[in-house]
Amino acid sequence: MALGDEFLFEGAKNAVLSGLKNDPETIIYRQDIIKDCLKNPSITRRIYNIAAEAVEGEKKAYYLSFFSRYPDAILSRSIEVLTMFVDRLQKIKKIGEEHADKYESEGFTRFFAMLKKELSDEYFEAIQRHLRELKFSDGVLMSAELGKGIKGINYTLRKTIGKKKSWIERIFIPRTPAYSYNIAPRDESGARALSELKGKGITLVANALAQSTDHILSFFTILRNELAFYVGCVNLHEQLVRMGEPASFPEPAVSIECGHSFRGLYDVCLALTMKRKIVGNDMSADGNNIVIITGANEGGKSTFLRSVGLAQLMMQCGMFVPADAFSSGVYDSLFTHFKREEDMTIKSGKLDEELKRMSEIVDRISPNTMLLLNESFAATNEREGSEIARQIICALKEKRVTIFYVTHLYEFALGIYEKNAEKTIFLRAERQTDGGRTYKILTGKPLPTSYGRDLYGLIFGTDRENIK
C-alpha cells in the first residue's frame, strides 16, 4: 500500500489495525470513498500531493525560523507560510471546480461542497489584501502611552487611513507637521530599540496570523492523513489488477450469526510476495461459527487461514478484499494463536508457552470475536492435545466465538465430526492421487493422515510406494 513511502505506510497501518472499531455504516462509507478513488486515481493523488506539499513546506519554514521568537520574525514567517497555503488552497479549489462531478461518495461530495462554500473568491481577496498590508511597505503606524517611570505602555498597531498619494502629491503637497527622529546608520543600539518598539506594536497581529496559519495547517494535515489511507488502497488495487487478481467490495453482514461466505478468496500477502496470481478458495459457512481445517501437509491450510484473517481486517477498515465475493459479520476483535518456532531462551516447554498465550487470549476474548488457530496444542501427544483442543473449542463455542482451526489432531477433529457438531463445518486440503497439491480447501471429513510421507519422498528422493 505504501510503495516505500513512510507516511503512507503509517497511515495504512493505523487504518487497517484500527478497523475492528468500525461499524457497518462506517465500512460502507469508506468503501464508497475508495470506489471514487479507484475511478479517479490521478485526481485523488493530486489532492494528496498538494496537502503533503503544504505540510512539508510549513515544516521547512518552521525549521528555518526555529531560533527566532521575535514578533517581527513570527510575522514574517506566518506571511510566507500563509502565502504558500493560499496557493495550495487555490489549487485544491480548482480541482474541485473541475472534477467534483466525477465523485459520488458522501465523503467526497461533502468535501467538495465545503471547498465551494468556504473558499470563495471574496475569501482569497481578503487574505491577499491582509497579507499586503501586513508587509508594512509604507512603514508601521502605531500608538503608545506613557506609564509609570515614563515607560511606554498600551502599544497598539494602527491601520493607515486614506488613499495612497501619487508621487506628484508626495512632492508638491506640504506634509503634515510631525515630530521625527532619524537613527544614524551605525547606531546599532538605536536600531535595536526601534525594532523592539515595532515588535511591541505588532505582537498581537503576529500571534493572530500565526494562529490563522496553524488553523489552515490543521486542515492540510487532516486532509493528508485521511487521504494517505485511500491513496494506499489505490496503490494496492493497481498492483493486484496488474497481477490479474480479483478485488471486490465485501458485504458486512448485520450479524456474526450470518457466518462467512466467500468465493475466490486468496492470501493477498502471498500474491504480493510471489507477484503472480495464486489459487483462491470458496466457502459458505453461513450459520456456522466453527470451521475445522484438516488435510495434507503443505496443502495450503495455513495460507487459507491467513487469507480469512486478512480479508476480515481489510473489510472492517473499509477496504476491498482479495476475493471475487466476500461476506462476513463485523467483529469487535480478532485473535490469532499460531505455532511458534522453538525459543531456546524460554524456561518452559512449547506446550506451556502455547497454553499461556491461549490463557491471555481467553482473558480478553468476547462473544463477538474471531479466533484463528494454526496447529495449536500439537506440542504434546495426540491424545492430550486432542483433549485440550476439545475442551477449549467447546467452551469458546458456548460463548459464540467464531473459530477457524487448522489442525493435525485427528482424534480431536474426528471426535467433533462424529458428534455431528452443530454450527461446525469441516474443510480439508485437497490432495491428488499422485500426491500433488492443488492448494484448494474443500469440504471434507477429517482423514487419519496428513500425507507427511509425500514430503518425505519429495525431500529425500524416495519412492512413496516403498515408504512404510
pLDDT band with cut points at 50, 70 and 90 for residue 245: very high
What are the start-end ranges of the E strands in 77-194?
A: 142-146, 152-157
Task: Check residue 200 and give its pLDDT.
Answer: 67
Cα gap 106→92, rounded to integer Å: 18
Hey, which residues does 372 pair with through a beta bridge? 336, 404
pLDDT tens across 282-307, in order?
Answer: 999 777 789 999 998 888 999 999 99
Across 137-141, 343-347, 377-381, the highest mean pLDDT is recorded for: 377-381
b/e string for 111-122 if b means 16 or more Cβ within 10 A?
bbeebeeebeee
Burial of 99 per CB tally in 10 Å (0-12, 13-18, 19+)? middle
| Tens digit of each residue's pLDDT (9 = 90 or more) over 189-219 | 766 766 666 666 567 777 777 888 889 999 9
pLDDT mean over 221-249: 96
DSSP state of 185: T
- DSSP helix/strand/coil, 33: helix
pLDDT tens, residue by residue, 35-69: 999 999 999 999 999 999 999 988 876 654 544 56
Cα four-point dihedral sign 323, 328, 333, 338: negative
pLDDT, tens digit (0-9, with 9 covering 90-100), for 394-429: 999 888 899 999 999 999 999 999 887 778 899 999
For 331, the enclosing helix (H) or strand (E) is: none
Q: How confident is the model at residue 468 (pLDDT cuts 50, 70, 90)?
A: very low
Q: Taking the mean position of all CA atoms in its chain, how far away is CA 332?
A: 18
pTM of the model: 0.83
What pLDDT does 159 receive?
Answer: 76
Transcribe 444-458 into DSSP letters.
----S---HHHHHHH
* pLDDT at residue number 313: 96
The set of residues, in sequence order, having a beta carbon less than 8 Å from that of 253 and lying 6+ positions away, is 259, 327, 328, 329, 330
* DSSP type of residue 149: G
User: In this predicted model, what pLDDT tens digit does every residue of 368-400 receive, in sequence order?
Assistant: 899 999 999 988 888 999 999 999 999 998 888
Rounded Cα distance between 308 and 409, Å, is 21
Residue 261, all three cell numbers? 461466505
Beta carbons of 131 and 151 less than 8 angstroms apart: no
Domain-wise residue ranges, the chain? 6-241, 247-466
Q: Does domain 247-466 have CATH number 3.10.180.10?
A: no
Which pLDDT value is given to residue 56?
A: 92
Distance CA 102, CA 99 (A): 6
Find the distance separating the first CA and the last CA of the chain, reported in whole Å: 48
Report pLDDT for 137. 67
pLDDT in tens, 348-372: 678 888 999 999 999 999 888 999 9
Residue 9 — pLDDT band, cuts 50, 70, 90?
Answer: very high
Among residues of the chain, what percentage have pLDDT more than 70?
Answer: 85
- pLDDT value at 255 more than 60: yes
Please report the DSSP string for 337-359 in residue order: EE-----TT-SS-HHHHHHHHHH
Side-chain-side CA neighbours of residue 431 (13 Å): 20
What's the pLDDT at 151?
A: 82
The listed range with the strongest mean pLDDT (63-67, 96-100, 434-438) is 96-100
Amino acid found at 63: Y
- Give the containing element (helix H, strand E) for 296: none
Instruction: Provide the residue type at 2 as one letter.
Output: A
Instruction: Using the predicted structure, report yes or no on whether residue 233 has a pLDDT greater than 90.
Output: yes
Does residue 466 carry a pLDDT above 60? no
Burial bucket for residue 423 (CB in 10 Å: 0-12, 13-18, 19+): middle
